[in-house]
Amino acid sequence: MTDTLTDLIDRLHREAKQDRPAAETPDVGIVMGSDSDLKVMLTGGPRRGAYDAFVEELGFAEQTDFEDPPAERFTFETYVTSAHRTPDLMRAYARTAEDRGLEVVIAGAGGKSADLPNMTASYAYPLPVIGVPVQEKSVDSVIGMPAGAPLVAVDAGKSFNAALAAGQMLARQYPAVRDRLVAYHEGLQSGVGDSSRRLHDEGVESYSASDR
């Protein structure tokens, strides 16, 4: 194994032993099988991703240093761990997730052999894992878990929804997250209401030509 991988794995195990207060550790872990999944898993793709949901809608911050949490109360962290290329790192990440203070993990992988979400769920159990198939062809491999081995999953590419679902889980114990989810949904509804009224009142031709 390379030095970087060994260092990362050792760091995860060290962090797991530190027993830090919940307010100082990341609440959500985001892992993906390759950095080529970044646009789908986080931001910058054809649709908004988990990063956009957490930062723009739910007020979370990214925690990049376990020793030095951001000022925001709710945080997430991000890693690349591949079930097939770096099985030891995937296992270490999932096995230490609960002890490192995570409440839920979002795991995404692409290709036909998208095993990161389900293997992470198996090792991280009983921590909940939300699977994101990065491509359509990854859906069967992500959701096909046997009875007794749970994994919740979103549709292909919908990491934005995975972040909202993670927020829903946290909202059961944190009213502040619940409030942000409700505010997001209210904004969603008024956006549809505005579009509906404008489409009706302006008519199809004018609405289509306008800068929506």
Pick the piece of the chain touching ligand AIR (CB under 6 A) from 44-52, 104-112, 121-129, 155-163.
104-112
Q: Does 196 bind ligand AIR (CB under 6 A)?
A: no
Rg of the chain over CA atoms, in angstroms?
A: 19
d(CA 150, CA 71): 34
In angstroms, rounded to a whole number, what is the distance separating the alpha carbons of residues 110 and 137? 8
Q: Rule CB under 6 A: choose which of 27, 37, 77, 103 binds ligand AIR.
A: 37
Among 134, 162, 164, 170, binds ligand AIR (CB under 6 A): 134
Which residue of 13, 48, 73, 84 would you call a contact of ligand AIR, by CB under 6 A?
A: 84
Q: How far is the CB of 118 from ligand AIR (least distance, A)?
A: 11
Mode of pairing for the β-strands spanning 152-153 and 75-80: unpaired
User: According to the binding rule CB under 6 A, does residue 45 interact with ligand AIR?
Assistant: no
CA distance 91 to 100: 14
Of the candidate residues 53, 83, 104, 132, the single one contacting ligand AIR (CB under 6 A): 83
CB of 82 to ligand AIR, least distance (A): 3
Q: Which two tokens stand for residue 181?
A: 């989810």
Give the residue, chosen from 16, 59, 82, 152, that forms a contact with ligand AIR under the rule CB under 6 A: 82
| CA 143 to chain centroid | 16
Closest CA to 171 of 183, 160, 159: 183
Pairing label, strands 75-80, 129-133: unpaired
109 lies in the site for ligand AIR, by CB under 6 A? yes
Footprint on this chain of ligand AIR (rule: CB under 6 A): 32-34, 36-37, 82-85, 109-111, 113-114, 134
